[in-house]
Structure formats: structure tokens, C-alpha cells
Amino acid sequence: MFKKAAMLAMAAGLALSGFSAMAQQIELKANVPGNEEGIAFRSVQHFADLVKEKTGGEVAVKVFHSSALGDQPSSLEALQVGILDMATIETPITGVDPVLGATALPYIFTDRDHIARALGGEAGDWIRERLAAKGLRVIGYLEGGFRQITNNVRPIVTPADLKGVKMRTPDSKLRIDIFNHYGANASPLPFQELYSALQTGVFDGQENPVIWAKSTKFYEVQKYLSLTNHLYTVTYLLMSEKAFQKLPENVQAIFAEAGEEAVRKSVELGIEADRDIVAFLEEKGMEVNAADIAAFTAASEEIWSNWVAERGDDAQKLVDLIRASAQ
């Protein structure tokens, strides 16, 4: 790891001498689904700032928030054909490789140290190779945060407490299956429609990192916050391989270095959110409780086995690589 960082730093340091020869400024666009308060936007903006600094202003990355350049599935298509430079992708990554749903299995990651070892090691390298074959360059695995449950029915301590709760999920078969397995009545809804659906009672609850409960003011329409940590959101910072190969080698090295810095920034923001935003939500009147993680983990074992059985050896390979890095 230190050798890799030293090589990147050296390459970045040497790179600046080459920018004066560039005919014109390189301008790239990055699309992010969340708003300006989200971890993804702030982390990618940090990446853009570093790239600008390290290239002496010769490379500019314009970051667009709130899916201004299209939703995540359309961003993936645009990256693959080379008409979009960069984007952050979360759950829809399974649209290009269903096996990557392994990172979204409940309790597949135990804590942030485990995540760093897995995505910074063999599991992360394995994923990079699979996405490269799809025309997608992984610049970094950003933190999307641990997901928690909010609802208006009751505190959620064990899976049994979810029985009959109308839960909104993203449009992901796996996520729907997870919550139905726990006993909830789960169905998908676009995120931009969620506040109104909670306010009117179409849904009782939802699950997201706590940062969204603050930035979208879910505390106005939700009573209970249950700290389940049921799932960690890997936010893939991707670049079109076609766009990446057009960059000079010295710029490619800077992108790799800035990507590592963006990952570190995202983790800092995730830790900050866990600490400060939970306190903020309590101040706003939400009732906060810790869930029984052991009970939820035990209830998730069947989800793992069923998911792997449906997807075969490659799915089992990724699960094994992630689990091997737990210690």
C-alpha cells in the first residue's frame, strides 16, 4: 500500500512539468445522484478540487448533483459508450454485473476496517477487473454510509418488529427480498417521491444512511430511527474507460491518487454523519434506538444462501473474498 502511494505521489509530482505542453484545458463532467449535502457529492467535489490543484488548473472536473445529467442506470450506459466521463453509482451497479450485489448483502461487512481491507484488497481488485471488462474504470470505492431504518409504527429492535411495516426500498429485487424476508411489506419508490409518500402514509418507513434523514428532512415525517446498520452502501466512483484512456499518463496517475483521497474523505464524512447527525435527529424529536444486530445477522443467513444459489460460482467467489478479509 505504501509503495503504491509513493509511486502515485512521484508520478503526480513529475506530472506538472507536462501540463504546459497541453494544447487546451481538459474538461470532464461527473454526475452524482445525491444533493450537495450528500457524501458522494462532497467526496467527488474533493476529488475535483485535488485534480485541479495537482494539474495546475489544466484539468477541470465539473460535478453535477441531483442526477442533473441523468439517473444512475442511464449514467451507466453513458459511461460505457463514452458520452459521460464520470459518475457515482450505487445499487444500480448490478445492472451491469449482478454478482456485485454481494456488496449489498445484509451484514456482509462487519465494520469500516473490514470494508477497507476488502475493497482495498483482493475483493476490490476482483471487482475492478470485472468492471474494466464492461468499459468502466473504478476510480474509488466511496463510502455511502451504513443504512438505518426510520418509520412511524414502532422502534425496530429485531426483525420481528418489521412485521407488517410498509417499507420503501430502492428499485432492487435484493433489497425488496431482504425486507420482505424480515417480515415487512416492502416495495420500491423513486427517492424524489419518498418524502411525500411518508408524509401521506403511503409508506410507514424507509431505509437509508442517516445523512438523508437530515438533508431531506425525513425527521418531519418520521418518528423512530433504529440503528440497524443492516447494509453498507458502496458508492462506485466510475469513469468511462474510453475517457480515461484519452488522458495523458501523468493525469491518469493524478486521478488514481485523487481517487484514494476522495475515498478517505468519504469515510470521514460517514463517521461524522454517524456521530453528529444522529444527535441532530434526536434534537428534532426522533426517538433513537439501537437494534439487536445479532438477531438481524442470524435472520440474514438464509438471504445470503438463497442469493448465492441463484447466481452461481462467481457470486460465491466474491462473498468468499469479502468474508476472508473480515479478520
**Helix/strand/coil for 296:** helix
32 burial type by CB count under 10 A (0-12 exposed, 13-18 middle, 19+ buried): buried
Lowest-confidence pick of 72-76, 172-176, 202-206:
172-176
Which residue reads 475535483 in cell numbers? 48
Decide if pLDDT at 2 tops 90: no
Given a cut of 80, is residue 321 above it in pLDDT? Answer: yes
Amino acid 190: pLDDT: 87
The pLDDT of residue 21 is: 47
Residue among 14, 13, 18 at smallest CA distance from 58:
18
Identify which of 294, 257, 286 has the alpha carbon closest to the alpha carbon of residue 46.
257
Q: Check residues 16 and 99 and name the one with the higher pLDDT.
A: 99
The grid cell for 131 is 468492471
Instruction: Using the predicted structure, report yes or no on whether residue 22 has a pLDDT greater than 60.
Output: no
- Polymer length in residues for the chain: 327
Residue 7 pLDDT > 80: no
Give every CB contact of residue 74 below 8 A, 6+ residues apart in sequence. Answer: none
**Greatest CA separation for the chain:** 64
Q: 185 Cβ partners below 8 Å, 6+ apart?
A: 164, 165, 166, 167
Position with higher pLDDT, 34 vs 237: 237
Q: For residues 2 and 73, give the distance between their C-alpha atoms in angstroms, rounded to a whole number.
A: 36
Give the pLDDT of residue 24: 66
Q: How confident is the model at residue 3 (pLDDT cuts 50, 70, 90)?
A: very low
pLDDT confidence tier of residue 234, bands split at 50, 70 and 90: very high
Q: What is the mean pLDDT of residues 296-323?
A: 95
Contacts of 276 by beta carbon, 8 Å cutoff, 6+ apart: none
Average pLDDT over residues 109-124: 96
End-to-end distance of the chain based on CA atoms, in angstroms? 18
pLDDT in tens, 254-291: 999 999 999 999 999 999 988 899 999 999 999 999 99
What nine digits make up the cell of 259? 481517487
- For residues 119 and 234, the answer to whether their CB atoms sit within 8 Å is yes
- The predicted pLDDT at position 301 comes to 92
- CA-nearest of 61, 55, 59, 65 to 29 is 61
pLDDT 10s digits, 203-229? 999 999 998 999 899 999 999 999 999
In the chain, DSSP assigns E strands to: 26-31, 59-64, 86-89, 136-151, 166-169, 185-188, 205-208, 224-240, 287-290
Confidence band, pLDDT 50/70/90 cuts, at residue 50: very high
C-alpha cell at 51: 485534480
Query: What's the DSSP call for residue 163?
Result: T
**pLDDT > 90? residue 327:** no
